[in-house]
Every structure is written in structure tokens, then in C-alpha cells.
């Protein structure tokens, strides 16, 4: 079960490029990170690095902000969605467990 990271998830884009891609100011992008809406990685010397997925996330955030949604609410929605995802993953895991219990453990 190798953890291959797709082009979409690889964190390789600098904040300047993200700013161009999203139309957001660097200030805004950094602020959304402070509000825990986005989680860039850091290069060896501390520069932020974003993925295409992050860019799309930021575009969603920008749209919500334009509608007047506050960062706090956006974060709550994100957490809610995250929880739903996690539960789905757990149900899937449990189902697999039952199948294995009845029909034996299979190599994947």
C-alpha cells in the first residue's frame, strides 16, 4: 500500500504563483493559513509550498468570502465535511473486516 502522491496533491507551488492563480493577495493566503483553512508545506528554508488542491481550496474560500461567509464558519464546514469523510472511511474498513472474517484474509 504505497502512498503515491498525485500531481494534484504535491506541494510545489510558491505563494507568488498561488496568488496569480487565485487572484488572492499573499496577505490573504497567509491569513487563511493562520485561520487553519489551508496547510502549505515548507521548503527547507521556510518558504510556503502549495498544491493544486490547495489552489482549488483557496478558490472555494474566496467564493465563500465574497458571499460574506466568515473564516470561522468556513472552517467549521471544513471540519464537518472532514468528519463525514472519516466516518465513511471507517464504515468501509469495518465492512472489509467482516468480509475478511467470513471469507479469510486476502492479500490486496
By the rule CB under 8 A, 17 interacts with a second copy: yes
- Residue 46 binding partner per list DNA, a second copy, none, with a CB distance cut-off of 5 to 8 Å that depends on partner kind: DNA
Contact pick of 9, 26, 41, 85 for DNA (by CB under 7 A) = 26
Work out how close the CB of 39 gets to a second copy at its nearest, in angstroms, rounded to a whole number. 18
Distance, in Å, from the CA atom of 23 to the CA atom of 32, rounded to the nearest integer, reads: 14
Of 32-40, 42-50, 81-89, 98-106, the segment contacting a second copy by CB under 8 A is: 42-50
By the rule CB under 7 A, 46 interacts with DNA: yes
* Of 13, 54, 8, residue with least CA distance to 33: 54
Q: Of all residues in the chain, what percent are helix, strand and coil, respectively (each to 5)?
A: 60, 5, 35
Amino acid at each position: 500500500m504505497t502512498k503515491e502522491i498525485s500531481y494534484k496533491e504535491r506541494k510545489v507551488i510558491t505563494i507568488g504563483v498561488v496568488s496569480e492563480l487565485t487572484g488572492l493577495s499573499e496577505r490573504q493566503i497567509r491569513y487563511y493559513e493562520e485561520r487553519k483553512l489551508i496547510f502549505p508545506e515548507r521548503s527547507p528554508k521556510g518558504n510556503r509550498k502549495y498544491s493544486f488542491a490547495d489552489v482549488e481550496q483557496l478558490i472555494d474560500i474566496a467564493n465563500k468570502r465574497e458571499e460574506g461567509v466568515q473564516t470561522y464558519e468556513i472552517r467549521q464546514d471544513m471540519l464537518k465535511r472532514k468528519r463525514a469523510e472519516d466516518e465513511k472511511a471507517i464504515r468501509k474498513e469495518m465492512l472489509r473486516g467482516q468480509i475478511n472474517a467470513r471469507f479469510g484474509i486476502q492479500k490486496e
